[in-house]
Amino acid sequence: MKWLITLLMNSMALLVADYFVAGFHISGFFSALLAALALGLVNTFIRPVLLVLTLPVTFFTLGLFILVVNALAFVIASWFVPGFTVYSFWGALLGAVITSIVSWILNGILNLRD
């Protein structure tokens, strides 16, 4: 049950980011739900591999390169979801940042983390 609430919150975070960022678009709530699911899968399986492969660059940029990895995860998730379109790298970067912030705020409000 907790994962379903988290999925819904992440969908809402994507819709909020879509409202503020012009660099990507989500066509509706169902697309946002699928995008949140795809982002969860990409962050679980692909993002750790990207983090290991880019570890030297991340080290030399004092961790800032993780923002680029997050944007890449955002773009990869958009490949799998119809109705979730990323127009530019900067849109993916800003969309990933705003989605993370809104999701963090919603998780803090609902206190779902153990």
DSSP, collapsed to helix, strand or coil, labels residue 46 as coil
Structure tokens at 111: 């206190």
Give, for 28, the enclosing helix (H) or strand (E).
none
Q: What is the pLDDT of residues 57-77, one digit of tens each?
A: 999 999 999 999 999 999 999
pLDDT for the residue numbered 32: 97
User: For 4-41, what is each residue's pLDDT tens digit?
Assistant: 999 999 999 999 999 999 999 999 999 999 999 999 99
Q: Specify whether the CB–CB gap between 55 and 12 falls below 8 A.
A: no
- Give pLDDT, residue 2: 85
Which residues pair with residue 26 across a beta bridge? Answer: 84
What's the pLDDT score for residue 112? 61
- Which residues does residue 25 pair with via DSSP β-bridges, in sequence order? 85
- Residues 89 and 72: beta-carbon distance below 8 Å: no
Find where tokens 């979801």 sit. Answer: 81
Q: How far apart are CA 75 and CA 59, in angstroms?
A: 23
Please report the pLDDT score of residue 76 as a whole number: 97
